[in-house]
Structure 1
């Protein structure tokens, strides 16, 4: 079986490209709009170079560490800290924090990644890991997980009314913003995750259960694949093409190759 890595046009973003993106393209007004109805204080996080092994030399020892950004006055200060770290990935903490830093709730989310699906060409995740390709995926797997995102959205619509879908740069995140979902217990979240998996959705269970609380920051750069993390309308999923859609292509890519 031939080795594979990423679909055409997807690649690691270099440090100078990360800097260009977060200086020129990172849209703070859209980020602020994403959080417009969010209660409590939000914490952010970055991973500098865990998977790409691309990082500023001064952060070599911290390249694989999850760095929390919780001391800031506004989003511009968050942007400045991201520009200092030049990370491969930026996240926000789904926990809601009160004035005394106590947890007052957690956003419910579902994570669909293309490497988790069974590919008719490349096999299961376990088989890919065995070949050293655990984070790799092909265009077919990406299309499979796109269709799963549509199905999962429709499945969740039966229970929830305030859903958002985000292209994560690799797969798709579904966010549940109904107020009662923030108060769900770990047991209820885990039960819901297992129900979704039983329906055939290849979600990461530990994300939905709340065990892993970080999720990619909308409008940030996924530096592993050089794609912008992009919120979408559900109606856009049918025709969405993350390989070629200009909305998720950072300007540093030569779009003529598509």
Structure 2
């Protein structure tokens, strides 16, 4: 069983449905992608971690379901509502009109469960107890500090950075045009240097092996928090227990 701070908990199917029907902000999602070229693919996971899923999707609860056939973002919303998923993602890959990969958005993932905690131990310790996605307040605080530090480190190389609260930890998206075209070797070099600086990132995200990343303004159904972009100056004082921007209506 996972443990989370601040009363974070799994969202029920009814709560997920209510969120995507009434709160999911398609306009802001569109704004997030305003500089993005080419068709964007989305994905959902219905109930891999929460084990909460509609009965008719029991066999596909842990499957990553790609949404690539849609008319517009409202149609994407309708398909999300059909699946009532615990998580929604978008594909960082950039494709040509034939569906061939051209490049990929560069991103860095700082999750609190990756932090070695004096109380709860390392990620390996947590996994051995079946608590691999669990985290505490101390780990979250360290993740915030690492996010600020990594942002400042990356600013020496890149100019267009966006921070996103993922519901558990933080993502830093690099939106500089040239960063999309970095090859795997270049991404591995960047990830290695970042790790050498002491930042506890998920390397497979930066390298590109994991091309999916949480969709801003979606619901993280594992902890019942809305995924929201943050300015760098907001991160230090950010509190997901009380910030109304990340609290769905069913928790207010």
In the superposition, the TM-score normalised over structure 2's length comes to: 0.98
Q: For residue 54 of structure 1, give the secondary structure of its aligned residue in structure 2.
A: coil
User: Which residue number corresponds to residue 41 of structure 2?
Assistant: 43
Return 127-136 or 37-46, whichever deviates more.
127-136
Q: Structure 1: where are the runs of 5+ without partners?
A: none
Q: Quick check: 1:108 aligned with 2:106?
A: yes
> 1:8 offset after TM fit, Å?
2.0
Q: Among residues 8, 11, 32, which one is paired with 2:9 in the alignment?
A: 11
The runs of at least 4 consecutive aligned structure 1 residues that moved more than 6 Å come to: none
Aligned to 1:24: 22
Aligned to 1:225: 223
Equivalent residues in 2 for 1:151-162 (5 A)? 151-162=149-160
1:135-192 CA deviation, whole Å, 9 max, x = no partner? 1111111111011000000000000000000000000000000000000001110111
1:193-208 alignment to 2 at 5 Å? 193-208=191-206
Counterparts in 2 of 1:1-258, with a 5 A limit? 5-253=3-251, 255=252
Q: 1:209 to 1:15 in 2, by over 3 A?
A: same
Greater mean alpha carbon deviation, residues 232-241 or residues 4-13:
4-13
Q: What RMSD over aligned residues (CA atoms) do the two structures have, in Å?
A: 1.0
- Give distance in 1, aligned partners of 2:37 and 2:133: 34
TM-score (norm 1): 0.96
